[in-house]
Amino acid sequence: MSKIPVAIIGSGNIGTDLMIKVMRLSNVLEMGAMVGIDAASDGLARAKRLGVPITHEGLEGLRNLPNYKDIRIVFDATSAGAHKHHNEVLQSDGKQVIDLTPAAIGPFTIPAVNIDANLSATNVNMVTCGGQATIPMVAAVNRVSKVHWGEIVASIASKSAGPGTRANIDEFTETTAHAIEKVGGATKGKAIIILNPAEPPLIMRDTVHCLCDNADEDEIRKSVADMVKDVQEYVPGYRMKQDVQFERIGDKKPLFIPEMGREFTGLKVSVYLEVEGAAHYLPAYAGNLDIMTSAAMRTAERLSIKRNWVEAA
């Protein structure tokens, strides 16, 4: 089976991890180019050693590569600000774009939740690492009982957050909160990211709190467990740290959430997660990279099969 050539714009942590995943794991995709703007970056050096065509001249350098015409899918792992221009140019060239920045030009895509919903879009957005980890849990609760408030806290090791991540903190929180609503199904969403400087670096941890209507707790436990298995199909290091926690909030002591603008009574559901990376580029503590790049690769593979660019394995 012939593979689909892809390019990655962004030779930092995320782009380099994605490149290694494509080369090691994918039966559908193959590397066509690695693109950066720093000629001395480790990502470009690794790509060159691996025989991947490279350029340090950004998007225009990619467009000038001899094999650019053969590349069907371009992953953008740069920044939200740069992505708007990249997308305009790539769309005009007829390329499929998979956006790993928080730009959110295309529809939010989380493989375990809605991978088939957006496969006709020419630009799909992978939300954020925190979104990829936590929104499946919001969706799992919401398919049992309506989630009125979804709040997530993503804690990642400082060493796994490159300059692109650090430059996009505001976009991270805004995009993730919006996706909690759009994909997770919550009426209102909130997202917080913590860069933890602890040494040795700590593995990615995520906390999800949902305020929903009263429902059968066993049904919610089963829905959450099923969703965990779905995510584990492409992120084996994704797991729960403890059992789902429940708290009944009654009329005598309602909970007031300022962002909701009202008092809440019902069921509080808390899910605690850990994401261990596959250590393809950074060590295993960088689960935030692993879940983002794994989701992007899964989406590209599914899209290629859906459009009959390749045959299903």
User: Catalytic residue numbers?
Assistant: 129
Q: Are 38 and 11 in contact (CB under 8 A)?
A: yes
Instruction: Give Cα separations from 45 to 78, 217, 229, 310 (angstroms).
Output: 17, 51, 36, 30
C-alpha to C-alpha distance for 78 and 173, rounded to whole angstroms: 17
Residues ≥6 apart with Cβ < 8 Å to 191: 128, 130, 131, 151, 152, 153, 154, 172, 173, 176, 177, 180
Residues ≥6 apart with Cβ < 8 Å to 228: 136, 238, 239, 240
Q: How many residues does the chain have?
A: 313
C-alpha to C-alpha distance for 266 and 136, rounded to whole angstroms: 21
Residue with tokens 């899910």: 271
Phi first, then psi, for residue 260 (nearest 5°) are -80, -25
Residue with tokens 């290091």: 237
Phi first, then psi, for residue 270 (nearest 5°) are -120, 130
Beta-carbon neighbour count of residue 261 at 10 Å?
8
Residue (of 132, 23, 37) closest to 86 by Cα position: 37
